[in-house]
Structure 1
């Protein structure tokens, strides 16, 4: 068996720990307590206004049951609104509030700084290659996830 330091699963888990710690540190620095998943949800709703919770879960590869708690917290913080769909009474349509739009604007520099710190040990070409390989591996393994990303065709 390989040494742990040579196993992709171990390295990915460790890099995930680092990325979450960096994300929290950067957002804490500006006084925000949003989690990476909450940020992903807000940014996705910004890009897809009126999306429903189930679609949001698919777009950020998050469990449909658990997304309800994420949305509940964002609604509670006044960053999102949730309204019953006019076309499907079971669906809840999501919109950013003015406070949500303002929060995303405030977060943008901190999130960008976090992304740069995550690849801080790499030069620009290496960082681009890491992103390319992570995308390729993620797409290849998407269907193996318990919450696969719903890839929209363009």
Structure 2
């Protein structure tokens, strides 16, 4: 008999599925058409104006090829603007449009609800422990990822 349902990898994959489903449901309730990675990209662009796509990919731990499609969709939705960099004519920089700012403002309370939804079965102490362990595991395994997080705060 397999212990599939107790394997950490299987449980993490299941929790990811649940988290994405909860995110989609909350965004639908809010009347917003956003995926978790689109939200992460927009918030990161907001926090880092005139960021280039490669840096954005590193800051949200996404591979460079896939982030291009994410940015393309956000540009098509008029949520992000992509312009030629004033410092390097070969590079493109990203910034939020006014609509992008409005969408983030609308999304924030819904994203907060998703976070609460994900951990609703835990006590306050368990939530703190769970969050601490998630941070520890993701930081420890970061360099093993095909798209490691590149945290600018560590520079």
TM-score bracket for this pair, using the shorter chain length? over 0.9
Aligned to 1:4: 4
Shift of 1:49: 0.8
Q: What is the TM-score with the length of structure 1 in the denominator?
A: 0.96
1:93 and 1:129 mapped to 2: Cα distance?
38
1:53-91 per-position Cα deviation (integer Å, ceiling 9, x unaligned): 000000000010111110010011011100111222232
Matches within 5 A, 1:3-42: 3-42=3-42
Are 2:78 and 1:93 aligned?
A: no
Shift of 1:131: 1.0
Where 1:93 maps in the other structure, the secondary structure is: strand
Aligned to 1:107: 107
Distance 1:2 1:151, change over 3 A: farther
Where 1:22 maps in the other structure, the secondary structure is: helix
Shift of 1:129: 1.2
Where 1:134 maps in the other structure, the secondary structure is: helix
Where 2:51 maps in the other structure, the secondary structure is: coil
Where 2:146 maps in the other structure, the secondary structure is: coil
Q: What is the TM-score with the length of structure 2 in the denominator?
A: 0.95
Q: What are structure 1's unaligned runs of at least 5 residues?
A: none
RMSD over aligned Cα, in angstroms? 1.2
1:78-126 per-position Cα deviation (integer Å, ceiling 9, x unaligned): 1110011122223211101110000000001110000000001001221
Aligned to 1:68: 68
Shift of 1:2: 6.3
2:119 and 2:108 mapped to 1: Cα distance?
17
